[in-house]
Amino acid sequence: MKAPRHFLRLQDFSRRELEALLHRAAELKRMQRAGESYTPLAQRTLAMVFEKSSTRTRVSFETGMAQLGGHALFLSPRDTQLGRGESIEDTARVLSRMVDLIMIRTFSHAGLEAFARASRVPVINGLSDDHHPCQLLADLLTAQELWGSVTGRTVAFIGDGANNMARSWMEAAQLLDFQLQIGAPEGFQPSAAVQAELGARTRVFSNAQAAVQNADLVVTDVWTSMGQEAESAERLARFAPFQVNAALMAQAKPGAVFMHCLPAHRGEEVSAEVIDGPHSLVWEEAENRLHAQKAVLEFLAGFGPVAKSGV
């Protein structure tokens, strides 16, 4: 049996595939806005396994499947046998004999890869400790809407440079050829191994002001990711100089825009004046989760122009 195609990290797509998917996402968004019915995933089911909380990921995948004519199942450890010790691989084996696609949000990225190896159907990473590729699709779609492409631009990522969002931004910078400037306190910067693998287009700074110089786009993320709650007090103290506020935005390129994957903590990683201000794209960015993921679902299920073109 041929191994299915998975989407566990951004670099699971080639540059051509990624660009084609982003253009397809824009087309699906246009079709949705125009009220066109498009239901290629009729009779198909997506299982959504959530080992961590979610608002956007759950709602965008569930709604996306409904719009594509399919069905989505929400599964959490609290009410499945995962919570009583059934292994992640056994869960993948069973689910993938019944459903057509699986999305999973989990902790360990190695665990996610083991899950995917055991699955007969495509697996989509809805966030792991190391990667959040679906969020990057939405962010890149938002940049595409603004500039046509992020290629050639400069993006500053301010905050936890060792987290899943930072790593997915590093992959995006390599794939789409833009400059990424990470501003993060020492101890919270990409590891030497990550920089060696993914750092070709990334520069790392120990202060936020240096990192935002010349940036067209400033992004941040929570200081304490899911699973790191015990470190919250230490992180609040270490990251305090890394808040994205009006003074920091003033050091970026004039007219620079702001993104945040959300959920946001106003007064911590971002000030209210920035996230609620005129240069913030966060609500369009959140909506774009839906359109970008519909393009991925369509592609991995073997439908639509990107799958057919064989890029």
144 catalytic? Reply is no
Instruction: Work out whether 127 is an interface residue with ligand CP (CB under 6 A).
Output: yes
Out of 6, 56, 105, 167, the active site residue is: 105
Closer CB to ligand CP, 11 or 225, in the complex: 225
* Contact window for ligand NVA (CB under 6 A) among 20-28, 79-87, 90-98, 161-169: 161-169
Alpha carbons 191 and 51: distance in angstroms, whole number: 25
d(CA 249, CA 251): 5
Catalytic residue among 221, 260, 291, 293: 221
Judged by CB, which is closer to ligand CP: 20, or 65? 65
Report if residue 221 touches ligand NVA, rule: CB under 6 A: yes
Q: Which lies closer to ligand NVA via its Cβ, residue 137 or residue 165? A: 165
Q: What six digits make up the tokens of 282?
A: 């966060």
Question: Encoding tokens for residue 92?
Answer: 């993948």
**Least distance CB 138 / ligand CP (angstroms):** 8
Kindly state the smallest distance separating residue 235's Cβ from ligand NVA, in Å: 12
For ligand NVA, the closer of residues 207 and 232 by Cβ is 232
Which of 21, 22, 54, 96 contacts ligand CP by CB under 6 A? Answer: 54
| Candidate residues 155, 217, 248, 261; the one interacting with ligand NVA per rule CB under 6 A | 261
Tokens at 21, concatenated:
């998917």
For the chain, the straight-line distance linking the first and the last C-alpha, in angstroms and rounded, comes to: 22
User: Of the candidates 76, 262, 279, 311, which one interacts with ligand CP according to CB under 6 A?
Assistant: 262
Active site residue 105: yes
Alpha carbon distance 104, 109 (integer Å): 11
Q: Which partner in ligand NVA, ligand CP, none is near 221 (CB below 5 to 8 A by kind)?
A: ligand NVA
Known active-site residue 30: no
Taking the C-alpha atoms of residue 182 and residue 295, their distance in angstroms, rounded to an integer, is 29
CB of 160 to ligand NVA, least distance (A): 7
| Contact with ligand NVA (CB under 6 A) among 60, 164, 168, 174 | 164
Write down the catalytic residue from 189, 289, 291, 293.
Answer: 289
* Whether residue 134 lies in the annotated active site: no
Which is catalytic among the residues 6, 132, 201, 235? 132
Give dist(CA 174, CA 153) in Å, integer: 12
User: Is position 226 an interface residue for ligand NVA (rule: CB under 6 A)?
Assistant: yes
My answer on whether omega of the bond before 241 falls inside 30° of 0, hence cis, is no
Q: Which neighbouring-strand residues pair with 183?
A: 158, 205
**Contact pattern from residue 99 through residue 138 relative to ligand NVA, giving x for each residue in contact according to CB under 6 A and a dash for the rest:** ----------------------------x----x------
The count of other CB atoms within 10 Å of the CB of residue 264 is: 19
Residues catalogued as catalytic: 105, 132, 135, 221, 261, 289
Sites of contact with ligand CP (CB under 6 A): 54-57, 127, 135, 261-262
Sites of contact with ligand NVA (CB under 6 A): 127, 132, 163-165, 221-222, 225-226, 261
